[in-house]
């Protein structure tokens, strides 16, 4: 074991610089071992201080060369992907940009998928971890694809909408028997949940096209690569609403979205609010005149605005008033937090059938089993949803 103060001034400064600045955590740790040994610490004391094995400390204190910082790197790393030639790595970097162009249904590569593809194309067998290390050395990172609608939004309309909605919300919180604000939306839950995380070059982020279809990067226009959002068959469609003042959720399973199904769902919501009002000791026949106004915030889907359907709502559901979001403003719809939380919950679960998925969603959304962090900040297509 080296004696206290065995390091020269230059050696100590180089090791201190490595501890402060090196990107490799293990190298920083090993440089620290030599510095502690220079201060007179024993192997056992260094092991306890750093929190690693005694044999590890002994090895690196003996084999680490303070004149050569590279000696503190694990030499085994050099052989982990030596089987991959420069041509193989070039193919890998080209491949991460275009899964859809290669005939695959998915729109995002994982390291394991890339390892399988590279094995099929070149015959070399690498693990997903080895692929990940290659990509990291090539300055690639695994990021969420960016989906932004900001360039399509009208700030003035959004500000006016928020101001008006804020007034309705204040009234609903103070007097829910007079006014209730509900946020309405539709969503689909697939048996195979696809996440939008993907390998990208550092400092860049892929985008998702508005329609969910992948668009290849164009060298002529310089457009960024886009990530597809395709889903496999086996899907549960839901229409539903969340009430602002008490976060009550009501969701309906539907075959598809159209004006007839939308109107039918509104009827069910209307009757459930009416029944709740009656259970509070009121008369059913007084609901139209004395019951709460049902203020529903929803997006601009075409079947939400069908004229014949709107006329039926006005005639048959007089307490309901539809309030449409500004164009391209899904972040103003509180129920997006419900869909996001439900999809987070089911993301890593396996389902044998659509019915099994449907039963779980019913428990989560209608029976109150889904715990939602209402005050979280959730990015939605470039904007943040925060429930105030």
Q: Per residue in 133-175, pLDDT tens? A: 888 888 887 766 666 777 888 999 999 999 999 999 999 999 9
Q: What is the pTM of this model?
A: 0.57
Instruction: Give yes or no: residues 270 and 313 share one domain.
Output: yes
Instruction: Give yes or no: residues 13 and 50 share one domain.
Output: yes
* Range among 17-26, 71-80, 315-324 rated most confident: 315-324
Residue range 248-262: average pLDDT? 94
At residue 113 the predicted structure's pLDDT band, cuts being 50, 70 and 90, is: confident
Domain boundary among 73, 92, 122: 73
Q: Is residue 341 part of a domain?
A: yes
Return the higher-pLDDT residue of 222 and 297: 297
Structural domain boundaries enclosing 345: 175-194+232-385
Q: Is residue 248 part of a domain?
A: yes
The CATH number covering residue 147 comes to 1.10.10
Residue 9 is predicted with a pLDDT of: 92
Residue 358 is predicted with a pLDDT of: 94
Return the higher-pLDDT residue of 79 and 72: 72
Q: Which residue has the tokens 């005939």?
A: 103
Q: Is residue 168 part of a domain?
A: no
Instruction: Give yes or no: residues 101 and 201 share one domain.
Output: yes
At residue 305 the predicted structure's pLDDT band, cuts being 50, 70 and 90, is: very high
Q: Per residue in 189-233, pLDDT tens? A: 987 655 556 677 777 766 654 443 333 333 334 444 444 444 445
Instruction: Give yes or no: residues 278 and 306 share one domain.
Output: yes
Q: Is residue 167 part of a domain?
A: no
Instruction: Give yes or no: residues 127 and 222 share one domain.
Output: yes
Residue 84 is predicted with a pLDDT of: 78
Residue range 87-101: average pLDDT? 78
């Amino acid at each position: 074991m080296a004696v206290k103060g065995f390091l020269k001034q230059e050696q100590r400064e180089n090791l201190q610089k490595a501890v402060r600045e090196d990107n490799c955590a293990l190298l920083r740790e090993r440089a620290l071992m030599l510095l502690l040994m220079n201060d007179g610490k024993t192997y056992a004391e260094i092991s306890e201080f750093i929190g690693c094995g005694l044999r590890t400390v002994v090895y690196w204190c003996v084999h680490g060369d303070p004149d050569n910082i590279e000696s503190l790197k694990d030499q085994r790393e050099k052989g982990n992907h030596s089987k991959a030639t420069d041509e193989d790595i070039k193919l890998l970097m080209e491949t991460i940009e275009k899964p859809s162009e290669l005939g695959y249904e998915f729109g995002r590569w994982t390291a394991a998928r890339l390892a399988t593809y590279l094995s099929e194309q070149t015959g070399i067998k690498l693990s997903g971890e080895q692929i990940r290390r290659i990509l990291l050395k090539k300055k690639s990172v695994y990021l969420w694809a960016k989906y932004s609608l900001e360039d399509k939004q009208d700030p003035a309309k959004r500000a006016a909408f928020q101001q008006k909605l804020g007034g309705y919300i204040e009234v609903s919180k103070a007097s829910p028997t007079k006014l209730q604000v509900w946020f309405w939306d539709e969503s689909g839950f697939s048996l195979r949940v696809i996440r939008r995380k993907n390998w990208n070059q550092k400092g860049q982020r892929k985008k998702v096209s508005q329609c969910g279809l992948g668009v290849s990067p164009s060298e002529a226009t310089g457009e960024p690569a886009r990530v597809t959002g395709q889903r496999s068959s086996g899907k549960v469609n839901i229409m539903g609403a969340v009430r602002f003042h008490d976060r009550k959720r009501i969701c309906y399973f539907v075959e598809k979205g159209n004006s007839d199904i939308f109107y039918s769902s509104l009827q069910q919501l209307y009757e459930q609010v009416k029944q709740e009002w009656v259970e509070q000791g009121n008369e059913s026949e007084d609901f139209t005149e004395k019951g709460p106004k049902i203020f529903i915030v929803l997006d601009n889907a075409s079947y939400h605005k069908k004229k014949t359907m709107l006329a039926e709502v006005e005639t048959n559901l007089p307490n309901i008033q539809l309030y449409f979001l500004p164009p391209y403003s899904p972040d103003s719809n509180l129920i997006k937090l419900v869909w996001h939380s439900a999809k987070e919950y089911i993301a890593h679960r396996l389902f044998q059938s659509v019915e099994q998925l449907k039963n779980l969603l019913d428990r989560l959304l209608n029976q109150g089993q889904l715990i939602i962090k209402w005050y979280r900040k959730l990015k939605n297509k470039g904007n943040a949803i925060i429930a105030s």
